[in-house]
Chains A and B, each alone.
Chain A
């Protein structure tokens, strides 16, 4: 008995063809990182431990240690995600539940802001960070990245808060909660799916962020992994093996994150407000 209905086979072939370039890229990355040399996709020579020397050598050709870059990337992504989720949730709650002047204008404005490509603002951001003394600091890039993502986050979280019942909030007020308590103990736990979704997006987006750190960070001590990886590109001789090794190292935490978290991530919507 065929595993798939006849008419699905064509579709399967089509999908394989579309997926091929991406798969090839991944396979190349894996092979190049693991072997001394690779001709096309055919590995030559032995297992290339040389490619991984960045792990134990304190510094490769004057670069900072990879562990510093890893720590910076983790802090960058983590801080961006935390700030983005926290500020989005609070702003979205206010917009969803409270009346204040210019509320609807604010909403439209936020959406418009999101439509701006970040790169078109980069010169202005550069000057602002310089004035604030945050240029070339991790905190500076964290704040910039988080703010650029806020409009989307606010809109997303507003959608989740809009679905909470008003009667439940009234009940909490009558039960003795202040607005603040109500937000933390009732509203926020009930939009957990939204927090998980937004947090995941924020984390991944910040992990892969390149252009902002590239423009706003100069000194090696604040490098993120993206900058570390990029630094190989400018050399006259490019050590592809080493670069692939770093590339794989850069991808691993994300893969790990998905492997450990997929049970939660796939169920983002099943834990919804209906409990």
Chain B
């Protein structure tokens, strides 16, 4: 089985007067797992349902390879989908749930049996096939939903928050398992999630959604190292990046703070960001400790500097208490600069 290229072109979706999607352009390469990451109401699930064919786009086109599919009925799109609630059919046994797509395709009985058993085996739910969904655990229901999506060997797999109803512990193993299966089968897949750790851990590339738009489409590493906008900077990474609003003037000035920059930056208003883990404690910016949260090996510090509240990670072996004065250093090479619209200012080649 080989995956297809999925191409979204200028997808727009209105619900009445509400504009849910303002124009989505994305291209997924075959066999890739892409995560749609964003807060609730950002349009990531809407986009997924457009691809599934549940909603009709107001404008724009969807292609699988070079075939346009946005006018097709869901059943003709060759997709498998897993829903947040699993959406298993409660009146059917697990076997019949998984077999349902095949039955609709009028696959011969013997082959249905073979395929269902094979898929169940792959997901480790062979023992539960004769039970009703309500009688098996949440993890097993989730696997059955995945099995139902995979049994017809779809060309595209859509996952809508598939893990958010699972216990934290099972969630970690389910993540790894979905990832393994997806790589093994090579199906082009889309994972919708609001959980950035899930997106970063599972996806080859992540599309970060804000209100009806894709802010950035990049690898997890790139999102972290070079967020394209202040929205991505604030959304991806935990704890989130510190952002200051101010003015570029050779250095960066924000009421009471003056942070030196490497030369060659434009002037004007903008934003400066630095991740908590990049802040060092050997500089000249005076800050007072407001709060210390022990995370294990190190601690998360909430600091106040010239009226700005910011977060920093303590270094190993550092003893800090509430009320302590620290001198911060924002290393120039770790700074993220954004213009007045929140767009990343590319570092000038030097």
Q: A interface vs B, CB < 8 Å?
A: 165, 167-168, 170-178, 181, 186, 189-190, 192, 273-275
Contacts and interface: CB of A to CB of B under 8 A. Distances in A.
B176 interface: no
Contact-residue bracket for chain B: 20 to 34
Contacts of B83: 167, 170-171
A174 B104 contact: no
Contacts of A178: 73, 75
A205 B22 CA distance: 55
B8 interface: no
B54 A190 contact: no
A178 B152 CA distance: 17
Contacts of A167: 83-85, 87
B106 to A, nearest CB: 10
Given A173-B53, A174-B74, A175-B148, A168 B89 contact: yes
Contacts of B79: 174
A168 B81 CA distance: 11
A173 B101 contact: no
Contacts of A189: 91
A171 B75 contact: no
A170 B87 contact: yes
Given A274-B134, A275-B132, A275-B133, A173 B74 contact: yes
Interface string B24-60: 0000000000000000000000000100111000000
A171 B87 contact: yes
Given A178-B75, A275-B134, A173 B87 contact: no
Interface string B62-93: 00000000000111000111011101111100
A172 B87 CA distance: 9
A189 B91 CA distance: 7
B91 A176 contact: no
Most buried by A among B80, B88, B89, B134: B89
A154 B104 CA distance: 29
B163 to A, nearest CB: 15
Contact of B90 (A173, A181, A190): A190
A175 B101 contact: yes
Most buried by B among A176, A177, A275: A176
B105 interface: yes
B52 A170 contact: yes
Contact of B75 (A168, A173, A192, A274): A173
The 6 lowest CB-CB distance pairs between A and B, nearest first, are A275-B90, A176-B75, A171-B87, A167-B87, A176-B104, A175-B101
